[in-house]
Copies of this chain bind each other. A is one copy, B any other.
Amino acid sequence: MKIDHIAIAVDDLKEAVQTYSTLLQVDDIEYERVESEGVSVAILHLENGRIELMEPIGDSSPIKKFLEKKGPGLHHIALETEGIDSQVSRMTSCGIRFLGEVRPGSAGTRVTFIHPKSLHGVLAELCAHPK
């Protein structure tokens, strides 16, 4: 299992991209609008993983609620795995709770989320990249 990305909720995507890209000296940046998750995302590619900056889209965005409750900051981590369906089965049999089924994520990935109550307060995405 690998660290795929670290996701950060921000109020102002443009400003956050400016800060992070300057600080981390990253110029490999992708932008994506993920309507299904209610976010507009900037993906900064580091040498061994990615930082995803997420700004909410619309009033029902879970990221909007997160920002209102906690302010900007670390939102979730994502772990890349092969055989995501069998991993979900294995983890479920260990008593882990998931937030929804495995579903399409950004850039052709398949994703699901582990409930923070199952992981000591951490929201973790499991993701599988297309082969």
Contacts and interface: CB of A to CB of B under 8 A. Distances in A.
Interface in A74-115: 74, 76-77, 79, 91, 94, 96, 114
A interface: dominant SS? mixed
Given A1-B46, A23-B96, A74-B121, 6 more contacts: A2-B48, A10-B121, A22-B94, A24-B79, A74-B76, A74-B77
B49 A122 contact: no
A1 B26 CA distance: 8
A120 interface: yes
A120 B73 contact: yes
Interface residues of A, number: 40
A45 to B, nearest CB: 11
22 contacts: A2-B46, A3-B3, A3-B6, A3-B48, A3-B51, A6-B77, A10-B121, A11-B120, A19-B119, A20-B119, A20-B120, A23-B94, A23-B96, A23-B114, A46-B79, A48-B48, A49-B49, A71-B121, A72-B120, A73-B116, A73-B120, A74-B121
